[in-house]
Every structure is written in C-alpha cells, then in structure tokens.
C-alpha cells in the first residue's frame, strides 16, 4: 500500500494550508483518488503526475463541501471512472453511493466505508487496514466545524478503540495516535458544550450573545462560523433537556450558588 498527498492550492481560514488530496494504491498498479478538491486544472494535472503510470479505479469524496468534491465528477469523466461518495451534494453527483459498513475494492485492497455524520451529514471516512482517511471529521491541528453535534459526537466515539494507527485528514498533517486525537476532540467538544450551557445559564439568551461570551478570544471575522457551531451545541442542549427555547430566547436553569 502506498499513500501520496497532493496539496490543493486553496489555503484559507477554513482549509488551513489547503485540501489534502490523497492517492492510495494497493501496492500494485491500482489507485483511487480521495478528495480531489475544487475545480482547478493545475491541481488536476498535479494529481495525475503523482498517479503516473498507475491506473485510477475511482474518484472518492469524503463529503460534498466545495473544498473537497467539485473536481470529482470532471476528473472521473476525463478518466472514464466512477465518482464515488455517500450522496449527491452541491457540485457532486456520485455514480456509486456508499453506505456505512460497505467495502470498496481498490485492486487487492478492500477499503472500508465508515459513515461519520456531524461535520456534514454526508460525511464518510475510508479505512485501509489501520489507516483512516478522515476527511473533515478529524483534521490536523484544530477542531472542525460541526453542523450536527449529537451525530458528530457519536461519529467520534464510533472510531475510538478500533485499532487505528494513523489518520490522513482532509486538512493538515497526518496523525499517529488516533485514539488520543479522538479523546482530545471529545474533551474539546464537551468542554465547549458545558461553556455554552453555562453562558446561557448566566443570561446569554441568543446565539449571538453566546458567541460573544464563549468565543471572545476568536477573531470577530470568524464569529459567523462560530455561530454555526454554537447553534449545533444549542440544538443538542435542547434535545438533552438541559436548556429550553422560549420564544426567541434561550433559557437554562441557573447553576446552584
Ligand atoms: Zn474541508
């Protein structure tokens, strides 16, 4: 098995150094491309240079966000191979749809499919032996944006203690201690969850109030993004019965003195 990375030229506040496009082979001539990234002919050329004489079997996407999937269909069409993912999304139409627990054969290699909703509901991770292509479920060097917190926490727990030895993420560097990384992610989320509940108990009654309170140290240009995370936490806090929504106001029982 050989794994190569081609970094897309899309650095930014949401993408870090850019999107990691991974090229995985089975140790012979069969490869798949995972997360080809945005439509960018120079990146497509760079991917094909790394593929070289090997054969591409399919183009896989972890999820349909614009920094991961839009090049998938054009590249698949050029190569005459299927574009593969969990579900259609903006700028992406899969010819093969993969569900949780499926395997996808890459030559001699059976790639395991793990549905990991949370960052987005269509998110898949791909497992090759004890290596996991983690997309934006888990990235190098920071936490991720979460759209749906309950499923996200479940998707983290689902990977824990499963014998993983390495993450190859959608952004940032490879990570060699997956269970420790998952622990950190869970601890970080649960800490935020508690901070948000406490802020609401102390009187923050709107998403904006909570963002100002809890994300005070974060650059204001990122507050709209933080608001999405807060919304995801708030939705889960309501589902857990720990806060309520009264009209337009969030309400939590005050902490005992
Ligand atoms: Zn991404």
Q: Each residue of 187-236: pLDDT tens digit?
A: 999 999 999 999 999 999 999 999 999 998 888 888 988 899 999 999 99
- The answer to whether the CB of 232 falls within 8 A of the CB of 152 is yes
Q: Which residues contact 110 (CB under 8 A, 6 or more apart)?
A: 103, 104
Q: What is the pLDDT of residue 257?
A: 65
What is the separation, in whole angstroms, between the first and last Cα of the chain? Answer: 58
Residue 177 in tokens: 């201690």
- The answer to whether the CB of 132 falls within 8 A of the CB of 178 is yes
Q: What is the pLDDT of residue 141?
A: 87
Using alpha carbons, select from 174, 177, 166 the residue that is nearest to residue 5: 174
Ligand 1 centroid to Cα of residue 72, in Å, is 14
Helix-strand-coil percent breakdown of the chain, rounded to 5?
Answer: 30, 25, 40
Ligand 1 centroid to Cα of residue 68, in Å, is 6
Its pTM stands at 0.94
Ligand 1 centroid to Cα of residue 248, in Å, is 32
Ligand 1 centroid to Cα of residue 14, in Å, is 7
Pairing of strands 83-85, 2-7: unpaired
Ligand 1 centroid to Cα of residue 67, in Å, is 5
Ligand 1 centroid to Cα of residue 51, in Å, is 22
Phi, psi of 116 (to 5 degrees): -130, 70
Ligand 1 centroid to Cα of residue 50, in Å, is 21
Ligand 1 centroid to Cα of residue 207, in Å, is 24
Residue 98: pLDDT over 90: yes
Residue 256: pLDDT over 70: no
């Amino acid at each position: 098995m050989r794994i190569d990375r081609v970094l897309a030229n899309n650095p930014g506040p949401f993408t870090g150094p850019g999107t990691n496009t991974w090229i995985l082979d089975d140790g012979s001539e069969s490869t798949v491309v995972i997360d080809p990234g945005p439509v960018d002919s120079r990146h497509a050329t760079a991917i094909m240079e790394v593929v070289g004489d090997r054969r591409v079997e399919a183009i896989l996407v972890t999820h349909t966000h614009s920094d991961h999937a839009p090049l998938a269909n054009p590249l698949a069409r050029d190569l005459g191979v299927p574009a593969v993912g969990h579900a259609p999304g903006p700028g992406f139409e899969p010819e093969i749809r993969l569900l949780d627990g499926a395997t996808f054969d890459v030559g001699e290699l059976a790639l395991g499919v793990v549905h990991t909703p949370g960052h987005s509901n269509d998110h898949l991770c791909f497992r090759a032996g004890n290596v996991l292509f983690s997309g934006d479920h888990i990235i190098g060097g920071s936490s991720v944006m979460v759209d749906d917190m309950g499923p996200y926490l479940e998707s983290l727990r689902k990977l824990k203690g499963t014998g993983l030895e390495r993450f190859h993420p959608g952004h940032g560097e490879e990570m060699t201690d997956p269970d420790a990384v998952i622990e950190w992610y869970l601890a970080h989320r649960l800490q935020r969850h508690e901070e948000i509940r406490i802020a609401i108990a102390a009187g923050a009654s709107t998403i904006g109030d909570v963002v100002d309170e809890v994300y005070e140290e974060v650059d204001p240009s990122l507050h709209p993004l933080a608001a999405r995370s807060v919304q995801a936490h708030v939705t889960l806090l309501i589902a857990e019965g720990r806060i309520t929504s009264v009209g337009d106001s969030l309400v939590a029982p005050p902490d005992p003195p």
